[in-house]
Structure 1
Amino acid sequence: MLEVKLHDIGEGMTEGEVIHYFVKVGDSVSIDQPLVEVQTDKMVAELTSPCSGIVKQIVIEPGETVQVGTSLIYIEAAGAVKSQQKSQPESKQTVKKQVTPSVQAEKSSQPIFSRVLAAPYTRKIARDNNINLEDVHATDPSGRVTEEDVYRFLKGQQTSEESVQVAPQVAITKEIPDEIPFKGIRKKIAEKMTKSLFTIPHVTHFDEVDMTNLFKLREQLKASGESVGVSAFLIKALVISLKDFPIFNAELDEENSRILLKRNYHIGLATNTDSGLIVPVLHDADKKSIKDIHKEVKGLTERAIAGKLQPFEMQNSTFTVSNVGPLGSTGATPIINYPETALIAFHKTKKRPIVNDHDEIVIGHIMTLSMAFDHRVADGATAVAFTNRFASLIEHPHKLMMEMI
């Protein structure tokens, strides 16, 4: 009998809520067939079958929250009984195949089943398009099949747009509930924000940035056929500023009485979703062009909103950005994404009369920002110097270009 357990499918997750099962006791299942849907603190994920066989027992009821390592389902693997009957007690067979972390065999004599390495969402894409993952070439050096590999395989199979099936749209009538469950992502956000606020002595610094010249540059680029979002420029300027002020790309290690200055620049992107605040991570932002940053930020944001982020896309941020200007925000005192040292929020950009370098009153585009920082690690004067450096790069885009040469 094979034991399917809840394993860590997120960033150090410790528990998950069983949403519903795709199978029932007595059902025949095939390898990679969805068994159960689980809600973690960051995503909804499907656990799939590691083998073909029969569902013998479902242990946990839907709606229950269980710890990682808890047994969920028992499966009698196809051929297991037969192979045991044929095997002699004194004979030993060694099978060199991979075992998924969610499965544990009760007897060492049972056959071990091989499985293609792929994330749950990648498996779902393959199932929805009737693709056998064993037929898909993995481009990742680790041998893991990615969603890009599946899409590439699918594109090679399709001969026309008619081969793509579109699910019918169904009208949904929403009812406003009397209460909302406090669990899953929302509960995890609450726990993390509480820990941050009661651990870190927050200080918030407010500033203004003149976006006029940057907007002009964007219009020039757009006219030449290059459309890049404002966020990409802001992130690039932030990374340059963080290199000049590494204290804000750091983490306080109180236990060992040291401040860890991070050499990687992994920018967290606070994103509002229906499930709550999600923070996908733009890894190695310092090594990417503005155009690449624009493309990756767009993709990460879209996957966050759709609930399709992979675990590695939410890990190891060193500094977080919250772009709430498009929502209409004019100011806030943001809470730091623990255990980081600082977080910057970009607010609404407004047209205002300003005095330019020639002492002329003109209309400018002024964006407000708020920067929360850990006062144990940095001081107010350093925060002001940091935002001044950032503002200088944005207000004079040629300086930003010079820093990338």
Structure 2
Amino acid sequence: MEVKLHDIGEGMTEGDIISYLVKEGDRVSVDQPLVEVQTEKMVAELTSPANGTVKEILIDVGKTITVGTTILTIASEQGADPAPAKEETAATVAPAAPSQKSMIMERPKGAPLSNRVKAAPYTRKVAREHDVDITLVEGTGRAGRITVEDVLRYVEERDNGKTKAAAAPEKTPSVEKEPVHQPEEEFDTIPFKGRRKQIAMKMSQSLFTIPHVCHYEEIDMTELLDFRKELKAMDENISVAAFFIKALAIALKEYPVFNAKLDEENEVIRLEKSVHMGIAADAEEGLIVPVVRDADKKSLRAIHQEMKELTQKAKENKLTVKEITGSTFTISNVGPMGSIGATPIINYPETGLMAFHKTKKMPVVNEHDEIVIRSMMNVTMTFDHRVADGGTAIAFTNRFKSLIENPKKLMLELV
């Protein structure tokens, strides 16, 4: 019986083997943890599908593997399973028959060497979206695997009119020269794998798929901060971010196009029924987005408490799959770190993301033409221009702004 890496998260294509919890020859029972795998967002445990004995561990610790790869085999108690067939690699390709060999020798210039292409499903999707014949792309991954970066590099060279044939100068006889020895540069490296690599893939996917547009607004936070002081005096400590989430949940119900996902294959925009708010969190291993589910149905107190718990679990790398999947809109509260502005990348396949920046006291001219000191905050509303237009984004942001600038009015909207 084979234990394979399966998709344990939205859009997952690969993972890193972190550690094994068993060794060859160990007896295992159903649902017993076997191996720890680092995915895009979390460390997950894969469990045993049956009672039996660990027969063979096929993948070394530290290796990155794709979804569908067999990690280990188990001999079930009903009887030993036959050994799994090993994947064909470049080193074990059978010699071609004479007729096949002649066909390869006569292969037209630029034609693919083989119909067998090593590429993840998402890489193939990127190739299709850019009208690329993936068999013509040179893979730089392990064993010649084609990566997303390979496809995008091919697109750039194609669009710029560059080809390898044109770029490579013809070889001409020349006098051999003594090789020039360049001094080796000293540098440090950090691993580009695990969550960091998965974040890179997700960001590339979003940026190359979605036409991003950013709308900027400034919000007067004075009334909300004063209202929070009143609540604190009553032993109710509600974070500012909880108010943001609740106000956004209300605005998203009125402008559901931003609580939506574009289904290009079926040519529809799916308007989500509930608001599942993603919260971009800065963890030690990289950005992660825990989700406050059904934010439109929860109180400010409940949202505040759930946010605290999710943020703590993110720091400890203890989030479950359910807690990091299914978001319909995402927020990024970077103000506490000192940010005054940014152009955030949308959490694909969502339609919008709002970032909150630093709040600072500033002189403002009020409706009576008086200069007063107010607490002002910049916000960025990033949206998918395929799904929504600028006017709708401005109206949506203005609705959110009115609720934050008038927190007692926000109370009237709560259910």
TM-score w.r.t. structure 2 length?
A: 0.70
Structure 1 residues 255 and 34 mapped into 2: Cα distance closer, same or farther (>3 Å)? closer
SS in 2 for 1:7: coil
3-state SS, counterpart of residue 208 of structure 1: strand
What is the match of residue 194 of structure 1? 204
Equivalent residues, number: 311
Corresponding residue number in structure 1 for 2:343: 333
Aligned AA (2:214): T
Q: Matches of 2:325 and 2:59 in 1, distance apart?
A: 29
| Counterpart position of 1:403 | 413
Q: Distance in 1 between matches of 2:23 and 2:351?
A: 48
Aligned equivalent of 2:38: 39
Cα distance in 2, alignment partners of residues 51 and 382 from structure 1: 53
Deviations 1:192-239 (A, max 9, x none): 211221222111111101111101111111110111100000111111
CA–CA separation in structure 2 for the residues paired with 1:12 and 1:377: 21
3-state SS of paired residue (2:411): helix
Q: What is the aligned partner in structure 2 of residue 122 from structure 1? A: none
- C-alpha distance after superposition, 1:317-342 (max 9, x if no partner): 11111111111111001111112111
- Give the alignment partner of residue 297 of structure 2, picking from 287, 309, 321: 287
Give the partner amino acid of 1:206: Y
Question: Of 250, 254, 258, which residue of structure 2 is paired with 1:248?
Answer: 258
Work out the CA distance in 1 between the residues paired with 2:26 and 2:40. Answer: 30
- Aligned counterparts of 2:307 and 2:254: Cα–Cα separation in 1: 23
Question: Which SS does the other structure have where 1:322 is aligned?
Answer: strand
Q: Deviation digits for residues 36-74 of structure 1, max 9, x if unmatched?
A: 221112211223445665433211111222233333233
Q: Report the AA paired with residue 327 of structure 2.
A: S
**Structure 1 CA distance, aligned partners of 2:314 and 2:388?**
31
Structure-2 residue corresponding to 1:121? none
Contact 1:11 1:311 in 2 (8 A): no
- Superposed, 1:38-117 pairs within 5 Å as 38-49=37-48, 54-76=53-75, 80=77, 106=81
> Would the alpha carbon gap of residues 202 and 75 (structure 1) be closer, same or farther in structure 2, given more than 3 Å must change?
closer
Determine the structure 1 residue equivalent to 2:144. none
Q: Quick check: 285-294 or 57-66, which moved more?
A: 57-66
Distance 1:26 1:229, change over 3 A: same
Partner residue in 2 for 1:94: none
Equivalent-residue separation in structure 2 for 1:310 and 1:396 (angstroms) = 36
Once superposed, what is the RMSD of the aligned Cα atoms? 2.3
Structure 2 unaligned spans of 5+: 83-186
Counterpart among 317, 324, 329 of residue 319 in structure 1 = 329
> Comparing 31-40 with 220-229, which one deviates more in the overlay?
31-40
Quote the Cα distance in structure 2 between the aligned partners of 1:246 and 1:59.
48
Distance in 1 (alpha carbons) for counterparts of 2:258 and 2:34? 44
Does the aligned pair in 1 maintain the 2:39–2:198 contact within 8 Å? no
Q: Aligned to 2:243, what secondary structure does the other structure show?
A: helix
Q: CA deviation at 1:188?
A: 1.7
Determine if contact 1:236/1:285 at 8 Å carries over to the other structure. Answer: yes
2:3 matches 1:4: yes
- Structure ID, larger Rg: 2
Instruction: State the Cα deviation string for residues 154-187 of structure 1 (Å, max 9, x = none).
Output: xxxxxxxxxxxxxxxxxxxxxxx92122222212
Unaligned 5+ residue runs, structure 1? 85-104, 108-176
After TM superposition, list the pairs within 5 Å mapping 1:170-185 onto structure 2: 178-185=188-195
Residue 402 of structure 2 is aligned to residue 392 of structure 1: yes
Which contiguous aligned blocks of 4+ residues in structure 1 show a shift greater than 6 angstroms?
Answer: none
Q: Which amino acid aligns with 1:318?
A: T
CA distance in structure 1 between the aligned counterparts of 2:238 and 2:68, rounded to whole angstroms: 45
Secondary structure class of the residue paired with 2:345: coil
